[in-house]
Structures are given as structure tokens and as C-alpha cells.
A and B are shown apart, each in its own frame.
Chain A
Amino acid sequence: KAGVTQTPRYLIKTRGQQVTLSCSPISGHRSVSWYQQTPGQGLQFLFEYFSETQRNKGNFPGRFSGRQFSNSRSEMNVSTLELGDSALYLCASRSEMNTEAFFGQGTRLTVV
């Protein structure tokens, strides 16, 4: 069974640009959540999607958004990038019957 797949693995963007990250969950998993990981703040919850609906949202500005498709794949978008958005963005999937979350390898975003 394939794990959680995130693309791209690495990304370099310029301040002011926007970026879209992709996450394919484990087959059969309908819940996808996103986390931002930085050395200073650790792992912080961005949002969760379940069956194409945002079910939960963390304390991030509106520049951070996401969506989920009917096949459970999810994308997150960050607009008007700031230097502080440089981080490892992690996606986690979960089956609706199990609370354990499986993480992808992450997308390393660098904003210059």
C-alpha cells in the first residue's frame, strides 16, 4: 500500500509569489491535514479536509488555503509569500475509522 505522497519535495519561491503544494493520501483515507514545521515553532496545524470539506482550521492567516478533491487528493496554496513562510509543509492522512495519522515526506519551501 503506497504511503502519503507529497509533491514537489523541494521548492524555492520569491517573496510575493504564490505556491501550490500537493498531497495524495493513502488509498481509502478521506481525511487529509496539513502542518507547517519550522525550527522555531515546531509542528503547527494548518487545516484538515474530509470529504472535500474543510473540517478544522488552525491559526494561520488567510493567505494559507487549501482544498480537497473527490479522490481525496489535497492541495494547499500560499499566496503573497513571505520569508517567514519558509518551512517544511507536511501532509497527513487518516482513515475515518482510525485516529493514527500517517505523514508524507513533506515539501521543503524556501522563500527568498
Chain B
Amino acid sequence: GESVGLHLPTLSVQEGDNSIINCAYSNSASDYFIWYKQESGKGPQFIIDIRSNMDKRQGQRVTVLLNKTVKHLSLQIAATQPGDSAVYFCAETLPNTGNQFYFGTGTSLTVIP
């Protein structure tokens, strides 16, 4: 199966600081990437996505960067808030695999007030 790894299992940041969550993927054929946020007791919630023909995509307070050369994905959260505390997963898909996502193991983000 696919290997989608995360550099750090936990991350603590001060409220108001920027957060960066990293993710490495192994298959250069991966064509679509998603970041999900999962709060305790809830299902994963979509944050932002990016296709392999892009390097950067911005949303509200979030930015995803894709470096295909080193097969690296990052999620940047600006002005981190207590409500951002959750586990963050990156996921990738391969062409023509429908809804099959390969998920990383997750990074637990804790925001310190």
C-alpha cells in the first residue's frame, strides 16, 4: 500500500502563532492531496486540497504547499486559535482510484492559550 508519513506526531504552538504541519508521500504518481482535521469524537473534516499540477493553494487562514521534487506536503495555519487544536491528516490519491485516499498517521496539534 501507499506510505504517507508525517514528520512529527505532536505539535504545540502558542495561540496567535503560525503552525506548520508536514507530510511526506512516497508515490510520485499521486495526483491529488487533501488535508483533514479531526477533532475528538468526530469524523475528519475537509480543510483544503491541492492537485499535483499546483505548488500552492490558499484558503481562509490555511495554505497548502506541495513540493513534488521531494514529495513533501505542508499545511500552514496562520494565527492559530484554540479551536485549531485537533489531529491533522494528509491524504493522497492516485489517478483512477476513485475515492480511495491513503492517509498519513496524523499530527496532533495543541494550541496553548
Contacts and interface: CB of A to CB of B under 8 A. Distances in A.
Nearest to B45: A103
Contact of A92 (B41, B97, B99, B106): B99
B89 interface: yes
Interface residues of A, number: 26
B46 A56 contact: no
Contact of A103 (B32, B43, B97, B106): B43
Nearest to A105: B43
A55 B104 CA distance: 23
Nearest to B6: A42
Nearest to A6: B43
8 contacts: A33-B100, A42-B105, A43-B91, A56-B100, A94-B99, A103-B43, A104-B43, A105-B41
Nearest 8 interchain pairs by C-beta: A103-B43, A43-B103, A33-B99, A48-B99, A103-B44, A42-B105, A56-B100, A105-B43
